[in-house]
Amino acid sequence: MIDKLLIGKTGDNLTWLPLWVHLRDTAGVMRRLLEEWVTDATIENCSIMYQDFCDIAVFCAYVHDIGKATSHFQGRISGSIPLLSDEMMEKGLHIHENTMYREYTPHSYAGQWILQSDRIGICLNSSISCVIGAHHGKPYSGMGLNCSSDLVALYPGSFYGEEGNQEQEARWKEIWYSIVKEALEISGIPSIDVMADLTLNDQIILTGLLIMADWIASNTSLFPLIDINESFDEEDYGDRIANGWAKLHLPQVWQPEVCNMSRHIFQARFGFLPNDVQEAVLKAVDETNEPGIFILEAQMGVGKTEAALGAAEVIASKCHCKGVFFGMPTQATANGLYDRLYEWAFSISEETVSAIRLAHGGAEFNKEYQQQIIRGKSLIDEEDDGFGVYIHPWFQGNKKALLADFVVGTVDQFLMASLRRRHFMLRHLGLSGKVVIIDECHAYDSYMNQYLDQSIEWMAGYGVPVVLLSATLPVKRRKELVERYLVGSSKRKQLSGSGHLKKSAVMGEWTNNIAYPMLTWTDGMNVKQVEIPQKTQNKSIKIGYLNGLDQMVELLKNSLCDGGCASVILNTVKNAQGCYEIVRNAFPDAEVLLYHAQFLMEDRLTKEKLLLKRMGKKSRNQDRYKFILIGTQVLEQSLDYDADIMITEPCPMDLFLQRIGRLQRHDRRNPDQELSRPRRLEKPECHILMELGDKKGKMQYDDGSRSVYGDYLLMRTLHIMPDSIILPRDISPLVQRVYCEDDDCGMAENTKYFTAKNDFLNEIKDKKGRARTFLLSRPQNNIQRILDNEHQGGEKKGKMGVRDITSSIEVIIMKEFGENEIGFVGESRNSRTKVFRFDYLEEEDGIDIARQRIYLPHLFAVKGMMGKTMDELQKRQARLKEWQKNPWLQGEEILLLDSENTTTLCGHRLHYDFEMGLVEEKEEKNE
């Protein structure tokens, strides 16, 4: 038959794959995915019957590349195998590459219109055919025309080869009808007419599955190409699907069986019995019939992570979920959680093998994680069918990251579910069928919240349970999050005819309750809330003020004279570096550690380990003796350290409470004197470091604090700051008052305050407006045009799309020892482990060099400076042309320091060392 000659793929050395083979491979893979990989929850929450969805999925998999059966595509691809093109022409099939209209008829969009065009007569409904158009990651958008513009009518030559040649039209239509007929037979669908309409959510999930099936079937190590001189007929197909699927060795679906989390099971999972907060969460989950969104507000250090994971196991059992996504604020906090999630996932995978993934931009540079990837590959090679968790290599890569069963990553991975980017369907597919946990959801600004809210609505539309963790939330923000989930649930239920959003659901007492700790959650379309009884002993923290660094040094000398440790938190790297130098000089007999974001990864990890050894939960008095930690905001996020005394620059109240959550965090009242606190530090104190003056309420903080947080929240926070704070009792009242828009905190007559308020409100309005530029909302109930004005770029650009960060410049720093001798900045000439050359670089060395990345100080990325900086960096790459050929270093900016770890960039001196990190100084001009 003529259709057996059509080419699906070509390779090197005259290898190819007939189109019919690739279509059958893809349909076979799709069926395996549906039977062995996709969780029931993903399909059950679609709008059509389970079996109907599966049948349509197999049908789409078979016809997905029908657009390759066109004169244009066959004319283009057969150029490398003229033997086949000659044979097609001999049998009367005209093939011709239509270069004039090539960009308007790519095979994915051509396939969509073959299936839905009235001129051809197959007339598949457009809610299904648009999935075919989207299977390369971007749905059909009209190609500059109206979406209803028929491509077959516009560009007939691309489809038939010759416009007006009825014989050729008939030959091509016969081929298309044959492909559709076989697709119907394979899928078990009796006719085109009986296929159900798909909703937007159905289309997204189906497109994600189709992309996944196509990628697997296109992997030539699983489904090999065929030599052009070999025959390959129906009888040769045999066990091709079974063999390819076996080689892929995808992990089994996790099937949670714990429907009720007893104290005994919780202890087995985490090594300790649940506390009051954890028990309250587990009780609520146990009693919930239709889990939706859960918002846990509880004090720092109470074990919200374990509460969330314990709840996730029960929720997964109730909702037939197959995994968990855990989103953290930063790469560092995600790295810190990864080992804990790995241990938990291993403990619940008693009879299955599950896939785990660390998902953020720096995962590929994490040495321990890379070792686990190697172990995962060896398990597949050995065809190990044991139990536990491992990293499956197929889930590597940014676009596939969320497809693994258990994923811990930065919150960006979740926010990008609402970013208009190509292949977003894979992100939605990965999150569907999971329990989503987002930590520290109070830490995101109004720009990020646009993406968080939209992603929560998407999750509700898929029936995905969401758990949000926070020290506390403003009541308005809590209401917004619950409402967005209910809106998404309502849209899903309306489509299935099972319910709608009632006004009473969003107007109850829960909307303004300021109790604490508290759990708010939805059971179906009903909102529930419970105040968790306070059995934790309250802790009173004295609040003081310091007039500048001299007073700070004096306080530290008096406080640490008998031992103990201190934490000093500054709002900018530059302030932290300056403070570190002063404290280091003032305390020659103490150990002072500087910790911020402008260190190389290896140095930062080393410092983090030292920090936790000297100030962690199990640190001894001798570890803590006169230890002073100085750092930036990274010290307020998920690091479990315990300071005897704290000093901090001003920040908004919710973040201030996060900071003092690390002040005397653990109970060290112990008969064992090795775990006690010095007598003068028995009562916790936090001192706010101001720039000048000693009165509260005035703008006496420095410009760095103002640039980071703005005047409005700083003024409100400082004005209502009490002389002492009792934790956890005061957490909610203080946060609610600072964020209550109807309360001017006693500053009604302050004109500077109202100027700050207007600036704050305008900034929020501006952030929301800018966020909507690339926000993946629901413009209509069809996937077409959903990616108009899509966000361009790779993973780095994606992160910048969901965070309101000014442009920043990331570079790789290396040290130049001499002529054609390059090494790592942490090594000296006599301690070099490796020497690299300008004119040659081994491929495996690229990853070690790529780990040496760091962000330049902010001043290099401001308006008027960024262009100059990039121009100068580009000029410096001329010496490293060979390095740019390395796959790990392509497109990277490499900044070479001299043998003293110093360079000059755009008139600024840069120096790096382990103690200070990357330091910038304005270069002095000689008069």
Is pLDDT of 616 > 80? yes
* Spatial contact of 522 and 485, defined as CB atoms under 8 Å apart: yes
496 band by pLDDT with thresholds 50, 70 and 90: low
| Residue of 579, 601, 568 lying closest to 330 (CA atoms) | 601
Do 543 and 513 sit in the same domain of this protein? no
Which residue, 248, 271, 294, sits at the end of a domain? 248
Does residue 687 belong to any structural domain of this protein?
A: yes
Do 550 and 428 sit in the same domain of this protein? no
Do 483 and 432 sit in the same domain of this protein? yes
| Residue of 325, 297, 478 lying closest to 412 (CA atoms) | 325
Does residue 522 belong to any structural domain of this protein?
A: yes
Does residue 350 belong to any structural domain of this protein?
A: yes
The domain in which residue 290 lies consists of: 263-354+398-528
Does residue 65 belong to any structural domain of this protein?
A: yes
Is pLDDT of 403 > 90? yes
Do 474 and 562 sit in the same domain of this protein? no
pLDDT for the residue 32: 97
Interstrand relation of 810-818 and 853-855 (parallel, antiparallel or unpaired): antiparallel
Does residue 533 belong to any structural domain of this protein?
A: no
pLDDT for the residue 589: 92
| Residue of 795, 783, 850 lying closest to 129 (CA atoms) | 783
> Rounded to an integer, what distance in angstroms lies between the CA atom of residue 356 and that of residue 342?
7
Cα distances (Å, whole numbers) of residue 888 to 327, 476, 611, 834, 848 = 26, 45, 31, 18, 9
Tokens 């009518």 found at:
153
387 band by pLDDT with thresholds 50, 70 and 90: low
Is pLDDT of 390 > 50? yes
Does residue 692 belong to any structural domain of this protein?
A: yes
pLDDT, averaged across the chain: 88
Structure tokens at 712: 């409005």
Is pLDDT of 580 > 90? yes
pLDDT for the residue 185: 96
Does residue 735 belong to any structural domain of this protein?
A: no
Do 23 and 66 sit in the same domain of this protein? yes
pLDDT for the residue 351: 67
Do 465 and 545 sit in the same domain of this protein? no
> Rounded to an integer, what distance in angstroms lies between the CA atom of residue 8 and that of residue 218?
10
> Rounded to an integer, what distance in angstroms lies between the CA atom of residue 614 and that of residue 186?
64
* Spatial contact of 113 and 151, defined as CB atoms under 8 Å apart: yes
Angle of the 304-319 helix axis to the 263-270 helix axis, nearest 10: 120
Do 886 and 844 sit in the same domain of this protein? yes
- Largest interatomic CA distance in the chain: 98
How would DSSP label each residue in 92-127? T------GGGGGG--HHHHHHHHHH-TTTS----HH
> Rounded to an integer, what distance in angstroms lies between the CA atom of residue 616 and that of residue 813?
31
* Spatial contact of 299 and 471, defined as CB atoms under 8 Å apart: yes
Which residue, 707, 727, 747, sits at the end of a domain? 727
pLDDT in tens, 745-756: 888 778 899 999
pLDDT in tens, 131-183: 999 999 999 876 555 556 788 888 888 898 877 788 888 999 999 999 999 99
pLDDT in tens, 231-290: 888 888 889 999 999 999 888 888 888 889 999 999 999 999 999 999 999 999 999 999
388 φ/ψ sector (left φ>0, alpha ψ -120 to 50, else beta)? left
697 band by pLDDT with thresholds 50, 70 and 90: very low
Do 307 and 404 sit in the same domain of this protein? yes
Tokens 């590597």 found at:
396
Do 585 and 701 sit in the same domain of this protein? yes
How would DSSP label each residue in 326-353? EEESSHHHHHHHHHHHHHHHHHH-SSSE
Structure tokens at 415: 């926010």
pLDDT in tens, 376-386: 555 555 555 55
Long-range contacts for 583-590 (Cβ within 8 Å, ≥24 apart)? 583/553, 583/556, 583/628, 583/630, 586/553, 586/556, 586/557, 587/556, 587/557, 587/560, 587/626, 587/628, 589/626, 590/560, 590/626, 590/627, 590/628
* Spatial contact of 442 and 471, defined as CB atoms under 8 Å apart: yes
Residue 308 sits at the vertex; the CA angle it makes with 304 and 311, to the nearest 5 degrees, is: 135
pLDDT for the residue 374: 56
Residue 547's CATH number: 3.40.50.300
Does residue 674 belong to any structural domain of this protein?
A: yes
Secondary structure of 673-693 in the HEC alphabet? HHHCCCHHHCCCEEEEEECCC
- Tell me the pTM: 0.90
Which residue, 528, 547, 580, sits at the end of a domain? 528
Structure tokens at 800: 């910048």
> Rounded to an integer, what distance in angstroms lies between the CA atom of residue 449 and that of residue 428?
18
Residues 6+ apart with CB under 8 A from 921: 908, 909, 911
| Residue of 319, 314, 295, 296 lying closest to 257 (CA atoms) | 314
Do 431 and 515 sit in the same domain of this protein? yes
- How far apart, in Å, do the first and last CA atoms of the chain sit? 86
535 band by pLDDT with thresholds 50, 70 and 90: confident
Do 189 and 228 sit in the same domain of this protein? yes
Query: How crowded is the C-beta side of 594, counted as CA atoms within 13 Å?
Result: 24
Do 508 and 568 sit in the same domain of this protein? no
| Residue of 324, 466, 362 lying closest to 799 (CA atoms) | 362
341 φ/ψ sector (left φ>0, alpha ψ -120 to 50, else beta)? alpha
Instruction: Count other C-beta atoms under 10 Å from residue 238's C-beta.
Output: 9
Rounded mean pLDDT, 316-321: 94
Rounded mean pLDDT, 89-116: 85
Task: Give the DSSP letter of residue 233.
Answer: -
119 band by pLDDT with thresholds 50, 70 and 90: confident
Domain count for the chain: 4
Cα distances (Å, whole numbers) of residue 38 to 130, 348, 791, 800 = 22, 19, 28, 31
